C-alpha cells in the first residue's frame, strides 16, 4: 500500500526511481497559528507541501499587520518561485491555522527538474496556473467592490481546498469546505473591515451558501463556489462594483449549472425563513 508521501510525490509526476530517492530525505514540520514559516527576503532551501491547515503568503503593512495575498491548503506546494529564480523569498509565509508541512530539500527539487521531464511539465503547468490565478485575483480584488472582495476571497479557500491539477474528477470534491479561521482574520484577507465582512457573510448565510460557527465558517456547495469564481474570472467585461444582491444572483446562476438536486440546503433554508415569517 502506498504511503501518503508516496502518493504525494506520484502526484508530482516523479519517476518511481526518483520517488525512492526523495522519500528518505523528506522532513515533517509543524507550526502553530500565526507562526512565520518563511520570512520575506530569506533564503529558500526547500519546497514545502501543506499536509494539514492553511498557509498564507503575505505582505507586511506599516501597521505591523500582514495582508495575505494567496492561500495554500492541503496537498499544495509553495516556494517554487524562489527555487526556480534562485532569489530570496518574495513574501512572508505564515500559518493561518495549526499547520503540518512536508519539505523536499532544494537538491532533490533541482535534480528532479533537470532529469524528470514529466515533473518539469507538471511544474510548468503549476506555475502558469498560479500566475493566471494571481492575475485574476489581483484584478478582481483591486477593482472590485467590497462584496466582490469578500465573495472571491472565500471562493479562493474552496479552490485551494479542491485544486487537484492531476485529477479532474468532480466526485473527489467534498460538498463543504471548513475554514477554521476567525472572521477578523478572514476580513483582513479579503481586504475589508470586520463590520462589512460580517454584513456580507450574513447575507450569504441566509441564502444558504455558508454556515457560521464559532471560530470559523463552513462553505456549502463547493461546486457552486467554484463555478461562481470561474464565471467571475471569465467575464469579458468585468463588473467591478456588484452589490451583494448581484452576487447572490450570480451564486444562484452558478448553482443552476450543476442541477436542481445538488444543493438541498438552499431549499431547506428558504422553507425555514418562510416558516419564521
pLDDT at 52 exceeding the cut of 70: yes
pLDDT at 276 exceeding the cut of 60: no
In this prediction, residue 86 carries a pLDDT of: 92
Percent of the chain with pLDDT over 90: 58
Percent of the chain with pLDDT over 70: 87
In this prediction, residue 173 carries a pLDDT of: 62
Q: Which residue, 19, 69, 78, 86, is CA-closest to 48?
A: 78
Lowest mean pLDDT among 223-227, 253-257, 263-267: 263-267
Each residue's pLDDT tens digit, 16-49: 999 999 999 999 999 999 899 999 999 999 999 9
Q: Which residue, 47, 56, 53, 57, is CA-closest to 12?
A: 47
Each residue's pLDDT tens digit, 239-255: 778 999 999 999 999 99
pLDDT band at 140 (very low <50, low <70, confident <90, very high): low
Give the Cα separation of 250 and 277 in Å (integer). Answer: 25
DSSP annotation of 164:
-
Q: Residue 100 contacts by C-beta under 8 Å, 6 or more apart in sequence? A: 28, 29, 30, 31, 50, 51, 52, 53
3-state secondary structure 97-133: CCEEEEEEEHHHHHHHHHHCHHHHHHHHHHHHHHHHH
Contact 65, 59 (CB under 8 A): no
In this prediction, residue 17 carries a pLDDT of: 94
In this prediction, residue 15 carries a pLDDT of: 93
pLDDT at 169 exceeding the cut of 60: no
Each residue's pLDDT tens digit, 97-128: 999 999 999 999 999 999 999 999 999 999 98
pLDDT at 194 exceeding the cut of 90: yes
- Rounded to two decimals, the pTM is 0.80
What's the chain's average pLDDT? 85
Amino acid at each position: 500500500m502506498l504511503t501518503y508521501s508516496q502518493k504525494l510525490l506520484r502526484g508530482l509526476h516523479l519517476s518511481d526511481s526518483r520517488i525512492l530517492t526523495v522519500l528518505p530525505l523528506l522532513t515533517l514540520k509543524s507550526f502553530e497559528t500565526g507562526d512565520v514559516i518563511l520570512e520575506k527576503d530569506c533564503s529558500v532551501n526547500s519546497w514545502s507541501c501543506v499536509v494539514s491547515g492553511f498557509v498564507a503568503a503575505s505582505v507586511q503593512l506599516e501597521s505591523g499587520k500582514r495582508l495575505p495575498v494567496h492561500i495554500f491548503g492541503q496537498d499544495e506546494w509553495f516556494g517554487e518561485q524562489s527555487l526556480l529564480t534562485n532569489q530570496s523569498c518574495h513574501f512572508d509565509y505564515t500559518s493561518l491555522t495549526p499547520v503540518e508541512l512536508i519539505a523536499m530539500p532544494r537538491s532533490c527539487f533541482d535534480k528532479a527538474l533537470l532529469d524528470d521531464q514529466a515533473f518539469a511539465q507538471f511544474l510548468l503547468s503549476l506555475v502558469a496556473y498560479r500566475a493566471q490565478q494571481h492575475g485574476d485575483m489581483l484584478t478582481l480584488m483591486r477593482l472590485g467592490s467590497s462584496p466582490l472582495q469578500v465573495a472571491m476571497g472565500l471562493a479562493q479557500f474552496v479552490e485551494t481546498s479542491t485544486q487537484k491539477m492531476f485529477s479532474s474528477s468532480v466526485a473527489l470534491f467534498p460538498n463543504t469546505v471548513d475554514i477554521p479561521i476567525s472572521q477578523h482574520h478572514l476580513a483582513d484577507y479579503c481586504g475589508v473591515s470586520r463590520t462589512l465582512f460580517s454584513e456580507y457573510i450574513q447575507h450569504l448565510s441566509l441564502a444558504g451558501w455558508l454556515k457560521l460557527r464559532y471560530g470559523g465558517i463552513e462553505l456549502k456547495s463547493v461546486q457552486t463556489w467554484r463555478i461562481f469564481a470561474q464565471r467571475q474570472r471569465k467575464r469579458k467585461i468585468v463588473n467591478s462594483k456588484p452589490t451583494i444582491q448581484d452576487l447572490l444572483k450570480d451564486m444562484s446562476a452558478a448553482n443552476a449549472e450543476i442541477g436542481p438536486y445538488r444543493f438541498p440546503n438552499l431549499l431547506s433554508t428558504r422553507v425555514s425563513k418562510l416558516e419564521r415569517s
